[in-house]
Structure 1
Amino acid sequence: KVSEIQESAKRIQNMIISAHLNKDLEREIIEAYEKLCEIKKEKNTKVAIRSSATAEDLPSASFAGMQDTYLYVSTPESVIEHVKKCWASLYTPRAIVYRNQMNIPHRNVYMAVVVQAMVRSKAAGVMFSVNPITGNENEIVIEGTWGLGEAVVSGRVIPDHFVIDKNTKKVLKKQIAEKDIRMDWDPSTGTVKELPVFPQFRKRPSLSTAEIGVLVDYALKIEKHYGIFMDIEWAIDKYEGFPEKIKIVQARAETVWNVKKGKLQTPESAV
């Protein structure tokens, strides 16, 4: 029953969030965060805290977005709190139901948490090293918008759409959307929220030709490293120079064409 799953999920999540971390682990996390602050030369530097579950990105099972991501987290105490929240998100009702549907045993799922420096995104989005619509493995598809990539991943905006030839690196197709809103950090409220895009930027491409070129190079390298089609999240830092400002924040196995073309097995056969 839905009500039973919701109640069980709530109890499990509360147990995880209220639990005290092992002192050695807590110290290691805080020391690593403080070292990052030193590298960034900023006290209480802001970080993104992301899930990395063992079952999150199994081929043919798209767990993307089911576990929580927390953006613009700062202070050691807040980092510890949100690491636990990220672990607890492994047991949201949605994640539990999906694992049941995909025949993935709950006892076989583990959660790692990634803490990474926050990219102060001018633009962000997703990229596929295979055309996710047609399955053409000679094409790379990039989608992007202004602000944080959450707007693209959550479907809140229609993103710019670029199709690139993997061999020649030429842009084959370009569709520039009218981007009225962006997800971004609001200093006045201290939260990530939906904000308007300035009129002069609404019909402007979120990526330049040079930025597309760097992203394509990243896609080729990442695909070569893993040997499969990849689903990649990227962001461009508004304060850094080119090409250092272009960041890859996450990469996972693409979940449709890898299975259809026999590059990876299905979750059912992997369990």
Structure 2
Amino acid sequence: MYTVQFTEEACRDVRSVGGKAAGLADMVAAGLPVAPGFVLTAEAYRAYLAQQGLAEVVSQVLDRLGASRDQGDFDRAEAEIAEHLLGAALPADVEEQARAAYRRLCADIGVPEVAVAVRSSATAEDSVGASFAGEFETWVDVVGEDAVLEHVARCYRSVFSGRVMSYLAEKGIAPHAIEMAVVVQKTVRARAAGVMFTLSPTSGDRSKVAIEASWGLGLAVVGGEVTPDRFLVDKVGLGIVERTLGRKHLEYRRGDAPVPVPEERRDVACLSDAEITALAELGKRLEKLHGAPQDIEFAVDEELPPGSDVILLQCRPETVWSAAERKPAFDASAGLMSWITGSISGAPAGGSAAGHQHERGTG
């Protein structure tokens, strides 16, 4: 089988569907709110490369790269591989199953030619050791069978972009080790969207949930185009302990281009207190489900009624503070006075967080 539904147990196999898709399937299995969709497995990607000798051509180009760290070499390799991949259609059986899965999704939702997000889910993606956030593309508002197939092929080609190959070299990962599954998921009509960490991304404090959000799709937040609203929620009582309103001057209502936010909404919180609390509760459930702090993307779907409009888009392990060594609160060798003064100043152990990244497109 080249396609699996989020609701199927096979969709929880990271080796077959990648970290992103497996995370979505885990959320579905746990009864968490996720927009419906399906996945083209890594087996479909292998079938794509197996045709017309594409795998051999790609291997030859990658082998010539060797241990290069020169961006020019990566860009030239991308261009050479693209010459061969651009003319390659999906295998007939992969195409047939993808079309059937899209038609089934349309039927299940009750919308002919429903708009979907097409998102990469690399098999080495979203692990704690090697987060690929921001390295692969996402497209939203893709409509129709033909467009879905074209964007699946784009996901496949993105594996061999110069940017990705440079990133892999930096991490010491061979490009041959990457296989691409593709998530096809109903586009969420986001009134607001953003990211959530089940710890403080600035201090690593695990007693808090941190939320950043802005109007429209999450593209403006993850792309750094706006200053989002920021909320800090206490995990125990779910009280909102900090709120900082951002300057939200533009929004993506669809996936193509941003539009100005009306003046009267720019300095108004894009999330209600009820939505903030609901998100924090979902974040706690996800952290418990995975047994570690999580980095979550979400949206509030304006097509759904209040109370059921908060949708989870993606969940991955938090990679910055989770990888840091956790020191005991009291170091006996430092002395009691040192511990007291440190507690009063509130200085975090381990410095400030950096490196949290998200995909270019959040759909």
1:25 aligns with 2:94: yes
Q: Is the 1:71–1:118 contact (alpha carbons within 8 Å) kept by the matching residues of 2?
A: yes
Give 1:223's match in structure 2, choosing from 287, 307, 314: 287
Question: Residue 140 of structure 1 contacts residue 165 of structure 1 at CA under 8 Å; is this kept in 2?
Answer: yes
Shift of the alpha carbon at 1:60?
Answer: 4.9
Larger deviation: 229-238 or 5-14? 5-14
The correspondence for 1:44, drawn from 98, 107, 113, is 113
Q: Radius of gyration: which is bigger? A: 2
Q: Could you tell me how far 1:234 is from its partner in structure 2?
A: 0.3
Are 1:209 and 2:273 an aligned pair? yes
Q: Which moved more, 1:218-227 or 1:152-161?
A: 218-227
Partner Cα distance (1:223, 1:17) in 2:
41
Residue identity in the other structure for 1:241 = P
In the TM superposition, what whole-angstrom CA distance separates every residue of 1:159-193 from its partner, at most 9, and x where no partner exists? 000011111111110001121111222xxxxx611
Match of 1:55 in 2: 124
For 1:222, the aligned partner's letter is L
Q: Structure 2: how far apart are the matches of 1:30 and 1:47?
A: 13
TM-score, normalised with respect to structure 1: 0.90
Aligned length in residues: 257
Which position in structure 2 is the counterpart of 1:240?
A: 304
* Greater shift in the superposed pair: 6-15 or 65-74: 6-15
Task: Tell me whether 1:117 sits opposite 2:186 in the alignment.
Answer: yes
CA contact (8 A) 1:60 1:255 kept: yes
Q: Could you tell me the percent identity over the aligned residues? A: 35
Q: Structure 2: which 5+ residue stretches go unaligned?
A: 1-69, 327-363
User: CA separation in 2, counterparts of 1:62 and 1:17?
Assistant: 27
- Corresponding residue of 1:7: 76
Indicate yes or no: 2:150 matched with 1:86. no
Q: Does 1:98 align with 2:167?
A: yes
Q: Structure 1 counterpart of 2:310, which letter? A: I
The change in CA–CA distance for 1:209 and 1:133 in structure 2 (over 3 A counts) is same
Question: Could you tell me which residue of structure 1 aligns to residue 214 of structure 2?
Answer: 145
Match of 1:179 in 2: 248
125-134 or 253-262, which deviates more: 253-262
Alpha-carbon distance in structure 2 between the residues aligned to 1:196 and 1:119:
20
Moved segments of 4+, more than 6 Å:
none
Q: Report the secondary structure of 2:323's partner residue.
A: helix
Cα deviation for residue 14 of structure 1 reads 4.4
- The CA deviation string for residues 9-32 of structure 1, in whole angstroms up to 9 with x for no partner, is 123244334322222221111111
Question: Matched residues in 1 for 2:324 and 2:184: separation?
Answer: 33
